[in-house]
Structure 1
């Protein structure tokens, strides 16, 4: 069994990480998961949350708002809608992200009056964003 797996985290703006990781914790849409070297192949969507990467040079955390993860045993690739290193997540940045999720919910409620699916999705996105803030010590207010 290999001791590390190649981990790459990409957002629309840039490549945030490319390291040999011992393990990667991923906020999957169906639940959190930990990917190790030689993990079974898997593709999953992400929910807002924290990606934790354990590598030889230490642990690193990234805040993501959603996206996809592909695990194939030899590599883990995350294509994030939006991602920031945890240390770059300030109260102002977090507030802007929550405001964006709040706007999405308001737009969904207006556009889909009698269609719960899109409204439920927007509500879950907002709740997940607020939960991320609580986890890292930031307030949505």
Structure 2
């Protein structure tokens, strides 16, 4: 038995296929989803999703959104998503370091909030591409 998973961003369908297992980053921590999961609606944090198809794990960076599961149908609506296979490791690592430096140098409430969001996005991209190689 499998889950039907659809990941949608505002401008495209990022993923539309079956999966055997899904691990999501929610606002309250990571959750695992298996077939016949109880109905659920949850907010997603900026982070990664891991999707198991057969015996292979696929990672994606998700930039916040919502997930709904019901009757082995899972729909994820996100602000932005990027498959690990589409992320350049060197670029992701450089972006992470720049975001980390910006966060440590941020002053003022607005600048700190913006730097923190940029840091979380860069961290999610780096985690997704790092998970691809492990």
TM-score, scaled relative to structure 1? 0.69
SS at structure 2 position matched to 1:129:
helix
User: 5 Å matches for 1:93-112?
Assistant: 109-110=109-110
Q: 1:24 aligns with which of 22, 25, 29?
A: 22
CA contact (8 A) 2:5 2:16 kept: yes
CA deviation profile, 1:62-119 (whole Å, cap 9, x unmatched): 111111111113211111111000121224467668979x69xx7x8249xxxxxx95
Higher strand proportion (structure 1 or 2): 2
Unaligned runs of 5+ in 2: none
The CA RMSD measured in Å over matched residues stands at 3.3
**Matched positions, count:** 125
- What is the CA–CA distance in structure 1 between the aligned matches of 2:119 and 2:16, rounded to whole Å? 30
Q: 2:50 aligns with which of 52, 58, 61?
A: 52
Q: 1:62 aligns with which of 57, 60, 69?
A: 60
1:136 offset after TM fit, Å?
4.3
Change (3 A) 1:134 1:16: closer
TM-score, scaled relative to structure 2? 0.72
1:20 offset after TM fit, Å?
1.2
Name the counterpart of 1:39. 37
- What is the CA–CA distance in structure 2 between the aligned matches of 1:58 and 1:94, rounded to whole Å? 24
CA contact (8 A) 2:39 2:68 kept: yes
